[in-house]
Amino acid sequence: MVDFTLTPRDEELVNLAREDAAISRKYARYYDQHHELLEPVELPEAKERPDPYALLQEDATGTSGPVVTQSLLHLEYPDVRLRRDSNRFLGTKIIAYAGTAEQVERFGHLLLSIAITEPGAGSDPRAMVGSARYDEAADEWVLNGEKIYCSGFGEAAGAVVMLRGAPDEHGVRPFYSFVVEKGSPGLQVIGQVDKMGMRAWDTADFVLQDCRVPSVNKLNADFKRTLMVFNGSRAMVTAFGLKTARNMLEMVHDNLLKDGNAIDYGRGRNGRSAVHDRVIALEAWHDATKLLILHAKWSEQKQGVTDEGTMVEAAMAKAMGGMAARRITQECMDLLGPLALMEEFLAEKWFRDARIFDIFEGAGEINRLIIARWLLDYSSKDLN
């Protein structure tokens, strides 16, 4: 039986995160317009305030558990973070579950992004051409490839990079993952990508040209084991996207209130205006997505991030959430009318921001394929 009641400690931490988001909102437009800048490590206001993520990490007693309560904090995702949080780095998470004791010791403390996408390989990583060759004499791997849209790479110490080795006896090129630290010979950072939305989101490209890394940097993580990290992060980014949608819904509500046109939820459908009906339908989408996120995180907390059930639940949350973020923000643009397009407000920014949540970490179509394969017991070869 799943109980979605928040504990008093959950409430406390969520309120802190909510207040943080309200405080940092005044910086939202600045970082939207200055997307060449990364968010600062800390905004001035952070100094006087406790960090809810750190408090949870230190002691999860009295909460709904470290994973579930963290997702409640993700649901309060701000336009600009009051302080950067290190627990979002997917490469670091891969080290935690796939690294040997030596690798955990060497790399476990580093902020590491994940670099899979290449110019011709996004939704289908199997199309990747980046290569890895073992140099036995030097006991090093020689890496070549171009990696794009790498989240967090501007701030990170490096990335876990997925590449393909030489063909085996069946002509199949295996997938390997390596830790590539900044400063490695042959790693060239291209820089930040200009984006339509989520402009404060650190996203960088880089090139590997005969980049050499010691053999200890090769992880015991093939295609499946590397991509497992998304079982945890899909619901997390969905929570970020849902917050963007909720910002829009709150703006619509404020506007209705201002016009003396507050929604009366007690009225039946026939007694409501079409506008109120639309808002209520959007709120239902929002709430259903939130429950899916919490259910996925509950499953992760119980069964672990590598569990197949967790994988499917995360894909469900992401498929639904990507669509919800798009649909809610789009319809709120309609409901807000001209206000939606005024720079004085953030609606048009949230509308732009929402789009990415149905693209990265598996676009909606890809997450629906994952769900369908599981339901129908098809392999990725059968259904792609």
The footprint of ligand FAD (CB under 6 A) covers 113-117, 122-123, 149-151, 195, 198, 201, 203, 356, 359-360, 363, 365-366, 384
| CB-nearer residue toward ligand FAD: 52 or 158 | 158
Closest CB 33 distance from ligand FAD, rounded Å:
18
Closest CB 195 distance from ligand FAD, rounded Å:
6
For ligand FAD, which residue has the nearest CB?
Answer: 122
Whole-angstrom distance, CA of residue 284 vs CA of residue 251: 17
| CB-nearer residue toward ligand FAD: 243 or 276 | 243
Closest CB 19 distance from ligand FAD, rounded Å:
27
Nearest to 180 by CA among 156, 162, 159, 152: 159
Cβ(158)–Cβ(189) below 8 Å: no
Closest CB 269 distance from ligand FAD, rounded Å:
34
| CB-nearer residue toward ligand FAD: 107 or 357 | 357
| CB-nearer residue toward ligand FAD: 196 or 341 | 196
Closest CB 147 distance from ligand FAD, rounded Å:
7
Nearest to 116 by CA among 40, 267, 227, 14: 227
| CB-nearer residue toward ligand FAD: 75 or 156 | 156
Whole-angstrom distance, CA of residue 44 vs CA of residue 58: 23
Closest CB 201 distance from ligand FAD, rounded Å:
6
| CB-nearer residue toward ligand FAD: 163 or 292 | 163
Whole-angstrom distance, CA of residue 33 vs CA of residue 90: 27
Closest CB 221 distance from ligand FAD, rounded Å:
14
Cβ(306)–Cβ(231) below 8 Å: yes
Cβ(238)–Cβ(315) below 8 Å: no
Whole-angstrom distance, CA of residue 127 vs CA of residue 143: 17
Whole-angstrom distance, CA of residue 54 vs CA of residue 47: 14
Cβ(110)–Cβ(158) below 8 Å: yes
Torsion of CA 309, 239, 68, 158, to 10 degrees: 80
| CB-nearer residue toward ligand FAD: 195 or 212 | 195
